[in-house]
Amino acid sequence: MPQVAFSDSYATIWRGKDCLSFLDGLSSNQVIGLSPNRVIQSAILDKNAKIIDLVIILNLGDFLAVIGYRPNYDAMLEFITPKILDSDVSISDISELNDIAISYDEITNIEIGSCETISDITIARLCENMEIHIAAKIVELDCEKMTQKFHEWRIEHQIPWYGYEINRGSIPYNCGINELVHESKGCYTGQEILTRMRTRNRGIKILRTLDNSEANPQKVSTKGTYKSLVIVNQ
């Protein structure tokens, strides 16, 4: 099973009874109601619906594990911590204690959207063909550095990634994470703008895989050897 290190990630532990509702109010997907041993991705947005970070949230029973993109970490904390107010939310950074890897293509038989711990490795299946693996550093995950092979696979399967399609300041509808915007969950930060885009069908873009010869270089977000990911109008 191909596995690459997600070395530019951070891992945090969130404790407290208000964690799910707090995250739900500040991000695009429906986080509230996330059951133990389930995982979801959600974009933390500012009031202009611009991405502060795309986080992977694992409900591990006693606490949540929230994984995100290290370059967005400070901005994420700066955005969320003033909003905790009287909420029962406590956050610890456990990045130094754990390694995180992305497993793709040939994966385990864990149900999509579930997570479980097997041989000291917490595995969360994000979608059909991709998982995130988290393990204490002592376990030593067997993975390569982030390789071009992974990006070639992403291009083929139209998987957006941090630093390529998903950038701070992007709008979820413009970077290939359209399905991570819940359409009926109610108010959350940035929701008015996304709803307006959707109802007026304006500015919504999708990811496409095109041969390099067909792709407009200005619209290419990930360039592969023969094909590229491009962000185009719907």
Partner 1 sequence: MDCGTCETDTPLEMHTPEVVDVNLSISDNAVKMLGDAFGDDRSMALLVGVLSGGCSGYMYDLQIVESSDLDCQEVIIEGFRVLIPKSSSHLLNGIEIDYEDRLMGGGFKIVNPNAQSSCGCGESFS
Q: Which residues contact 35 (CB under 8 A, 6 or more apart)?
A: 59
Whose Cβ is closer to partner 1: residue 107's or residue 123's?
A: 123
Closer to partner 1 by Cβ: residue 99 or 165: 99
Binding piece for partner 1, criterion CB under 8 A, among 5-13, 102-110, 165-173, 206-214: 5-13
Residue from 7, 90, 158, 234 touching partner 1 (CB under 8 A): that is 90
Shortest reach from residue 2's CB to partner 1, in Å: 21
CA proximity to 227, closest of 173, 162, 144, 148: 148
Residue 91 binds partner 1 (CB under 8 A)? yes
Contact letters for partner 1, residues 135-164 (x by CB under 8 A): xxxx--------------------------
Q: How far is the CB of 122 from partner 1 (least distance, A)?
A: 4
Binding track, positions 164-203, relative to partner 1; x by CB under 8 A: -----------------------xxxxxx-----------
Looking at beta carbons only, is 95 or 209 nearer to partner 1? 95
Kindly report the three-state secondary structure assignment for every residue of the chain. Answer: CCEEECCCEEEEEEECCCHHHHHHHHECCCCCCCCCCEEEEEEEECCCCCEEEEEEEEECCCCEEEEEEHHHHHHHHHHHHHHCCCCCCEEEECHHHEEEEEEECCCCCCCCCEEEEECCEEEEEEECCEEEEEEEHHHCCCCECCCHHHHHHHHHHCCCCECCCECCCCCHHHCCCHHHCCCCCCCCCCHHHHHHHHHCCCCCEEEEEEECCCCCHHHEEEECCCEEEEEEEC
Q: Could you tell me the smallest distance in angstroms from the CB atom of residue 46 to partner 1?
A: 7
Does 59 sit near partner 1 (CB under 8 A)?
no
Number of residues counted as binding partner 1 (CB under 8 A):
45
**Residue 184 has which token pair?**
């009926």
For partner 1, the closer of residues 135 and 207 by Cβ is 135
Write out the residues near partner 1 by the rule CB under 8 A: 11-13, 15, 21-22, 24-26, 46-47, 60, 63, 65, 77, 80-87, 90-94, 96-98, 117, 121-122, 134-138, 187-192
